[in-house]
Amino acid sequence: MRICSLLLFLLTSSLAFAAAIDGTWTAEMKMKANKKSGGQERIVELKFDLKSDGDKATGTVLSGIGKHAATLKIVDGKLDGNHFSFTTVQTTKKGEQKLTWSGTVEGDKLQGTRSRAGGKRGQSFTAKRG
């Protein structure tokens, strides 16, 4: 009986963490300077609309503003306790670009990194609920 209670507690506590990701989150990410930006660092706005379904994460990521904004659907989203990971796919002139997102949920804050599939470096982001 005691083992059943412990297992039930662990299961419900992991589901509670998963549900904590539900909602709208906003962030700004600093992008490094390149030739296209004229050597200027730029800020990209991100808006996450996230939902949990058991141990799966679904939703969208809105990246950029104005005519450069893109809404990307979340695929292969996973939740494990307060950890999350998912992939977004964007079709550009250069072909398909896959981005991998991962991090943790801590109350009303998402901390994580975004990296290109196969890339060596990622970019950090912090998003706030609301």
Q: Would you say the C-alpha torsion 11, 13, 14, 16 has a positive or negative sign?
A: positive
Yes or no: domain 2-129 corresponds to CATH 2.40.128.120: yes
pLDDT in tens, 3-62: 544 344 444 444 444 459 999 999 998 877 666 656 778 888 999 999 999 999 999 999
Spell out the domain ranges in the chain. Answer: 2-129
* d(C-alpha 65, C-alpha 61), whole Å: 12
Long-range own/partner contacts, residues 85-93 (CB < 8 A, 24 or more apart): 85/57, 86/57, 87/117, 88/61
In the DSSP assignment, the letter for residue 65 is S
Q: Mean pLDDT in the chain? A: 83
Burial level of 107, CB count in 10 A (0-12/13-18/19+)?
exposed
